[in-house]
């Protein structure tokens, strides 16, 4: 039996050298560790690329075994109002660090969820308690952080994890857990992850719960993801003018596999770049994909919108001929 443990927590990096796919960021952060000093930091990038791991690793390496006494983590998506800045953050920042630490660290995860009032209150706190406290903020979109806070921080931009880094880490975890990972299974994990290491590890664990041998079918089944060739077939049927076949393929994805409209739209968009379609036609199709994606996000009926997208593909395919 596999251990009932969340692998993403089990294999969370314990030191900066363990963070994969962010060589330049890790190198620059190590220089702060050696100097025993730290500016306010802003980590920006997509989910699952190591932002939280880097923040915790910095605290571990700076403070050693007592790192939890001088480190606090707040998830701004849960507590994001001005009262949090005025109470929790301010009270922690104003107290002196414990032990031999020169300062404390406040880590604000998902800081782009902080309200504008909370961010405005935070900038004064950052200045006032610099002698005893440093802030590390992580966000998916740095544009949602107000300029005064960005100017007070050293900004680090994290990139999606490369396919090679995902392959290496997933093979390593599979070997430790005694899981047999097939080549097509690894390829499927790479496709599902799309640069998100957290998603890759969770996909591996979910599939490993079904069978010790993880293959492509297990990955797509447990992650509610359509196979790329199924999406390509949908697009080809539409461009060839076969509405009923395209609609049947859409029914299979929506009803049999239970995919959401947003999932299908995202995969259609990704598939466009792997197909040999004239650039002019591809531009027209992607423009309509963006329009349909917006409509679904705004609450439109996803079934009607997806069939409208198929209809547009058919019209574009007919014009091409």
Q: What does the pLDDT look like over 259-273, one tens digit per residue?
A: 999 999 999 999 998
Of the two residues 179 and 78, the one the predictor is more confident about is 179
What's the pLDDT at 200? 93
What's the pLDDT at 309? 95
For 228-320, CATH number out of 1.20.272.10, 3.30.565.10, 3.40.50.300, 1.10.530.10 equals: 1.20.272.10
pLDDT value at 301 more than 90: yes
- Tokens at residue 170, please? 């997933």
Predicted TM-score (pTM) of this structure: 0.83
Give 154's strand partners.
41
For 164-222, CATH number out of 3.40.50.11060, 1.10.8.60, 1.10.3760.10, 3.30.410.10 equals: 1.10.8.60
Same fold, 22-157 and 228-320: no
pLDDT value at 286 more than 70: yes
Question: Is-contact 85 108, C-beta < 8 A?
Answer: no
pLDDT band at 302 (very low <50, low <70, confident <90, very high): very high
Query: Mean pLDDT in the chain?
Result: 88
- Tokens at residue 122, please? 């935070």
The model's pLDDT over 106-153, given as tens digits with 9 standing for 90+, comes to 898 888 888 888 888 888 888 888 888 899 999 999 889 999 999 999
- Tokens at residue 190, please? 């790479």
Q: Which of 176, 140, 139 is nearest to 11 (CA)?
A: 176
User: What b/e readout covers 102-130, taking b as 16+ CB neighbours within 10 angstroms?
Assistant: ebbbbbbbbbbbbeeebbebbbebbeebe
CA distance 74 to 88: 9
The residue written with tokens 């719960």 in the block is: 209
What's the pLDDT at 175? 92
Write down the domain spans for the chain: 22-157, 164-222, 228-320
Q: Which of 13-17, 71-75, 293-297 has the highest mean pLDDT?
A: 293-297
The model's pLDDT over 154-170, given as tens digits with 9 standing for 90+, comes to 999 999 999 999 999 99
pLDDT value at 1 more than 60: no
pLDDT value at 81 more than 80: no
CATH code 3.30.1360.40 for 22-157: no
């Amino acid at each position: 039996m596999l251990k009932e443990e969340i692998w993403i927590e089990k294999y969370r990096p314990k030191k900066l050298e363990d963070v994969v796919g962010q060589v330049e960021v890790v190198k620059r952060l190590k220089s702060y560790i050696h100097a025993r000093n730290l500016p306010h930091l802003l980590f920006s990038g997509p989910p699952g690329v190591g932002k939280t791991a880097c923040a915790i690793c910095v605290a571990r390496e700076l403070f050693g075994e007592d790192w939890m006494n001088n480190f606090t983590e707040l998830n701004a998506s849960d507590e994001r109002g001005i009262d949090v800045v005025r109470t929790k953050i301010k009270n922690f920042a104003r107290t002196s660090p414990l032990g031999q630490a020169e300062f404390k660290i406040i880590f604000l995860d998902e800081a782009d969820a902080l309200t504008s009032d909370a961010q405005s209150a935070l900038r004064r706190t950052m200045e006032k308690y610099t002698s005893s406290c440093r802030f590390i903020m992580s966000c998916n979109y740095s544009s949602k952080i107000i300029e005064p806070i960005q100017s007070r921080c050293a900004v680090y931009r994290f990139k999606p994890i490369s396919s090679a880094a995902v392959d290496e880490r997933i093979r390593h975890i599979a070997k430790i857990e005694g899981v047999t990972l097939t080549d097509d299974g690894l390829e499927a994990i790479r496709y599902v992850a799309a640069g998100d290491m957290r998603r890759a590890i969770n996909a591996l664990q979910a599939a490993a719960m079904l069978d010790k041998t993880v293959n492509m079918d297990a990955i797509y089944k447990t992650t509610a993801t359509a196979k790329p060739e199924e999406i390509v077939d949908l697009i080809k049927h539409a461009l060839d003018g076969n509405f009923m076949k395209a609609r049947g393929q859409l029914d299979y994805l929506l009803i049999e596999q239970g995919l959401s409209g947003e999932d299908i739209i995202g995969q259609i968009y990704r598939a466009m770049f792997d197909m040999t379609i004239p650039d002019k036609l591809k531009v027209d199709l992607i423009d309509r994909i963006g329009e349909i994606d917006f409509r679904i996000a705004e609450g439109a009926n996803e079934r009607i919108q997806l069939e409208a997208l198929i209809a547009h593909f058919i019209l574009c395919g007919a014009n091409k001929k």
